[in-house]
Structure 1
Amino acid sequence: MNTNKLSDRLATVAKYIPEGSSFADIGSDHAYLPCHVVQSGKAVFAIAGEVVEGPFQSARKQVQMEGLTDKIEVRKGNGLEVIQPGEVDCITIAGMGGALISQILDEGKSKLDSVKRLVLQPNISAISIRTWLLDHNWTLVEEEILEEDGKIYEVLVAEKGNAFKAYNKNKMDEGLLMGPYLIQKQSEAFLKKWSNEMENWKRILDQLDKANETIENQQKKQELLDKIKMVEETLKQ
């Protein structure tokens, strides 16, 4: 992967960055995403944010090598600390856990007033992000799921508006867990992800059956049984 050829995962994120935008890529690593998007002419300005010294230096070097220091600023800081209010209209956060992405958004929510779009790619726990968006009046406008190098990734795109718009209110739990748009499409990657999840839950159930019967174990078993039933019913749609 380089600035000319992104991974499928990052290429999917790039696809949802609006034309003519100024955006911040939080946790930018080597700054491949901002370099690619600015080079293509899709974005006019980008901030590459990194909190760790090594990746920060790698991002600075990459931007310098590409001759993009006039259009991409590499800044060191935690989460949205690297941007000023009103500075960008799009934020991308990719390659982290959903809970961490949600925490970054929550801690930096004062910086989101001018932001029109969030493009988020959690490695795990997309439900954490969907829940945060719902709680803070951001609506999902699109979702994608893809498999690359044996791993399955989800990309969530959100804009300000009616947070409930994307969901079937009678099936909120399913939508938050599995993704309202992904449920509708039921792609090959989606089916594989949730089939694998169910198999994992069933293995945990087997282990709980062999363990001492405690109130906590009973609760865990019931939660797993409920999730398995919900996913099975969703996949039959």
Structure 2
Amino acid sequence: MKLSNRLQLILDHIPHGSRLADIGSDHALLPTAAVESGTCVSAIAGEVNTGPFQAAVKQVKESGLTQTVAVRLGDGLEVLKPGEVDVITISGMGGGLIASILDRGVEKLSGVSRLVLQPNVGEDILRRWLLAHQWVLINEHILEEDGKIYEVLIAEPEELRELEISNETLYKERVLDGGIVLTTEWLLRFGPYLIQRPTSVFHAKWKTEIQKLNGILQSLSKSEQVSAEEKSESIRTDIKLIEEVLICLLKDKQ
């Protein structure tokens, strides 16, 4: 089965021999490909909406995988039993929604050794959730496909990483050339790995972010409220730092 580059990147980070749960699976393309490729020994496709659920059932049946890929109708992690899977993937929705799904089903994460998450927006919200719940980001990627930019976050429980990287070291304040200070807050926003290996897609994302912030500034300039000026000053500070970081990263590549 030919997957999109986004789904293939997610599949590439599922360990061989895993028992997978793909939440919000839509047409069950990822779990089907995971089992067909031999990456996973079994998979669960979870869907909350009946239309995609029925499409997933059809996909699994046509693939001849009804014995190894289960399609379940339910909200978030409620489709799972504790200890049933060791890898969970959630993709194609906002970071806030993914964090909410994990939060509501946190008891189902016991025994899960890896999360592979692809938020469409709100990546920093998801990084904050992982940090607050003792999951360590072990890698992250950024890619562009069909004119959209996606980030894929891979995390493991902190107790499994205690001899290697920890959240404390991952989000420790860093100083770039020129004395630019990246606080924990900015590392959560930029991505602690993405900032170390900035690609053209990374630069494109943050240039677009600057454009969005400038648009907000224009809207705020029409307001006479004191709070609007305070907000504007905060945004101008953010724009300045983002611009300085991008310039610094470009110099490092030259």
Report the TM-score, using the length of structure 1 for normalisation: 0.95
Which one of 178, 195, 220 corresponds to residue 190 of structure 2? Answer: 178
1:217 and 1:198 mapped to 2: Cα distance? Answer: 18
* SS of aligned partner of 2:193: helix
* SS of aligned partner of 1:65: helix
Paired position in structure 2 for 1:221: 232
* SS of aligned partner of 2:16: coil
Deviations 1:77-124 (A, max 9, x none): 000001100000010000000000000001110011100000000000
- The one-letter code of the counterpart of 1:145 is I
Paired position in structure 1 for 2:13: 16
Q: CA deviation at 1:219?
A: 3.0
Does the CA-based 8 Å contact 1:27-1:49 persist in structure 2?
A: yes
* SS of aligned partner of 1:180: coil
- The one-letter code of the counterpart of 2:215 is R
Does the CA-based 8 Å contact 1:134-1:164 persist in structure 2?
A: no
Deviations 1:131-153 (A, max 9, x none): 00010000100000000010000
Paired position in structure 2 for 1:46: 43
Q: CA deviation at 1:223?
A: 2.7
Paired position in structure 2 for 1:36: 33
Identity, % of aligned positions: 51
Does residue 163 of structure 2 align to residue 166 of structure 1? no
2:108 and 2:167 mapped to 1: Cα distance? Answer: 19
1:13 and 1:165 mapped to 2: Cα distance? Answer: 25
Q: CA deviation at 1:11?
A: 0.7
Paired position in structure 2 for 1:196: 208
Does residue 137 of structure 2 align to residue 126 of structure 1? no
The two structures, once aligned, show a CA RMSD in angstroms of 1.1
Q: CA deviation at 1:169?
A: 3.0
Which one of 189, 209, 217 corresponds to residue 205 of structure 1? Answer: 217
Q: CA deviation at 1:165?
A: 3.5
Length, aligned pairs only: 233
Does the CA-based 8 Å contact 1:183-1:234 persist in structure 2?
A: no
* SS of aligned partner of 1:198: helix
Task: Note the residue ranges of structure 2 that are not aligned, 5 or more in a row.
Answer: 159-165, 175-182, 250-254
Structure 1 stretch displaced more, 222-231 or 163-172 = 163-172
Which one of 101, 106, 110 corresponds to residue 107 of structure 2? Answer: 110
Report the TM-score, using the length of structure 2 for normalisation: 0.89
Structure 1 stretch displaced more, 66-75 or 224-233 = 224-233
* SS of aligned partner of 1:184: coil
* SS of aligned partner of 1:140: strand
Does the CA-based 8 Å contact 1:95-1:123 persist in structure 2?
A: yes
Q: CA deviation at 1:168?
A: 2.8
